[in-house]
Each structure stands twice: as C-alpha cells, then as structure tokens.
Amino acid sequence: MKLRKVTAASAVVVALAVTATACGGNNSNSGSGGGSGKIKIGIKFDQPGLGLKQPDGSYAGFDVDVATYVAKQLGYKPSDIQWVETKSADRENALQRGDVKFIAATYSITDKRKAKVDFAGPYLLAHQDLLLKKDSKIAKGTDLNGKNLCSVTGSTSAQNIHDTIAPHSNLKELSSYSECIASLQSGAVDAVTTDDSILAGYAAQDKYKGQFKLAGLKLSNENYGIGVKKGDSATLDKINKALEKMVSDGSWKAAVEKNFGPANYKNEPAPKIGQIVK
C-alpha cells in the first residue's frame, strides 16, 4: 500500500516537471522570430555594393543591410537569416513557391510585377544608365544603334533601351551582371545597362578601377521595393513600418554611405513609402 502511494506521488512530480519543461520550451521559442527561429530572404549574390556573396561566405551590400534591418524589426537576429540567391528571372517564382519570405534584390516595382507579387517600399530610387569602357564614344542612348548591349535575363533595363531608345541595338542577355561586365572588359559588348547603383558598384571594384565609366544618363526611374508573396498583407505592413523606421533613425543614410560612398554614387533622397516615381 505504501509502495502505491510513493509511486503515485512520484508520478505527480514527474508530470509537473514535464509540464514545466514544456512551458519553458515554448517561452524560449517565442522570442526567436515567428516561432521557427529562421527566415529565408532572397538577395543577389553577384552585385557589389548591393548584394554580394564574399569569398569568406559572408554577405555585403545595401540590399543586405536593408534586409537585415527589416528582419530585425520582424524579430529575427542576423544569425537567424538564411540568404537565398534570387536571380532576376526567378524572383516572382521564388515568392510564389514560398522559397523565401521576402526579396530585397534590386527589385524594381513595375505594374507587370505587381500583378504577381506585392511590394513594400520603395526604399531606393535608382536610374537606368550605361556602363562603358573609359574611351567609349557613346554619349547618349541612340548611339547604341548597331552596338552590342548587354544585360541580364529577366531585367527590364535592356528591353527598355531596345524597345524605345535604340531599336537597332544588338541585345545580349546573360545570366548575371558579372558575365556582362566581363564581356564589356573583353570587348564582346559595347555597353552594359542596368541601374546606376549596380553599375557604380562594379566600376568601383579594385579589379575594374580606371577601366569603365558611367554615361550619366537617367534613362528611367527604378523604384526598388521589397517583394513579398501576393496577398501577404501582414508581412507587407510590417516591412513598410520597418523601412520607415530605418529612414527616421538614420540607419538608411548610414547604409547608403557605407555601400555607395566608395563609388562616389550620387543617390536620391530616401523615397516615401508608397510613392512611386514614374
């Protein structure tokens, strides 16, 4: 009889211990961001100054800093972030498949893209430009007629020039800007086109210093937004609030100076959330 009482008491103690442990586990998870403790964010891996995977495996650039700040406001530490390479042609698909929570990858907001994904921001206003060899005679967009023009597959930049500015240019689309820059260096193409922020990052690299120049043309307005899955209004609202805070507390300006300062890039002021410059 005594044995039964001891056993029953022991069972109560064990049950209480298990309950306490379970409660403690839930509390420890609650502060790690969304419960899972990890977040997948899409960026570019090959864009100096914006999104670059470095030789040591770390990531650097303006988009990386913006995404890290936003993730922190969502409850995630830098160590909770899993960076996912999202090339231009695959950004919409990556969001639709759920491969990433959001994308900060020089993602220009357009009506066509807005039909497939939702955008927070914009968080940077860039302008389409041309990167040329230092001795190039190309001075304006129409000079590209009969010339070889390079950009990446899925980008709106090259198509914009080919359709509206220099219809007789020879458009060459490659999988990355790194390949385009190498083609420019070798003489296989006469110009590379994309946003001035991206081109400035490449021109400032040590291995390219003194070889290239920006044409200084504002061929379009590129409103960079953070892409989220269509219909995910909760995440969209949180990101917009995070971006507003980043500007107000000075972190946005610091990130601009850190990433674009060495290239002498003349950035536009921080855009207002929801304000798209056409």
Q: Largest alpha-carbon pair distance within the chain?
A: 102
Nearest one of 34, 32, 15 to 23, comparing CA atoms: 15
Res 211 pLDDT > 60: yes
Torsions phi, psi for 49 (to 5 deg): 85, -15
Structural domain range at position 88? 35-278
* Contact (Cβ atoms closer than 8 angstroms) between residue 239 and residue 93: no
In a domain, 29, yes or no: no
Exposure of 236 in the CB half-sphere (CA atoms within 13 A): 16
Average pLDDT value for residue range 1-26: 41
In a domain, 122, yes or no: yes
Strand (E) or helix (H) holding 227: strand 221-229
In a domain, 91, yes or no: yes
Q: Where are the beta strands (DSSP E) in 66-190?
A: 81-85, 102-103, 117-133, 148-152, 170-174
Quick one: pLDDT at residue 18?
38
Counting the structural domains of the chain, the total is: 1
Rank 24-33, 45-54, 59-68, 263-272 by mean pLDDT and report only the highest: 59-68
Average pLDDT value for residue range 189-210: 88
**Percentage of residues of the chain with pLDDT beyond 90:** 67
In a domain, 9, yes or no: no
**Which pLDDT band, with edges at 50, 70 and 90, does 266 fall under?**
confident
Average pLDDT value for residue range 47-59: 95
Residue carrying structure tokens 């990386």: 64
In a domain, 19, yes or no: no
Radius of gyration of the chain (CA): 24
Rounded-to-integer distance, Cα 96 and Cα 229, Å: 6
Q: What is the CATH number of the domain that holds 215?
A: 3.40.190.10
In a domain, 79, yes or no: yes
Q: What is the pTM of this model?
A: 0.76
29 vs 166 pLDDT, higher one: 166
Q: What is the pLDDT of residues 231-261, one digit of tens each?
A: 999 999 999 999 999 999 999 999 998 888 7
Average pLDDT value for residue range 42-71: 96
Rounded-to-integer distance, Cα 71 and Cα 49, Å: 19
Nearest one of 259, 234, 267, 261 to 51, comparing CA atoms: 259
Structure tokens at 198: 């991206």
Based on DSSP, count helices (H) and strands (E) in the chain, helices before strands.
Answer: 9, 12
In a domain, 8, yes or no: no
Res 14 pLDDT > 90: no
In a domain, 86, yes or no: yes
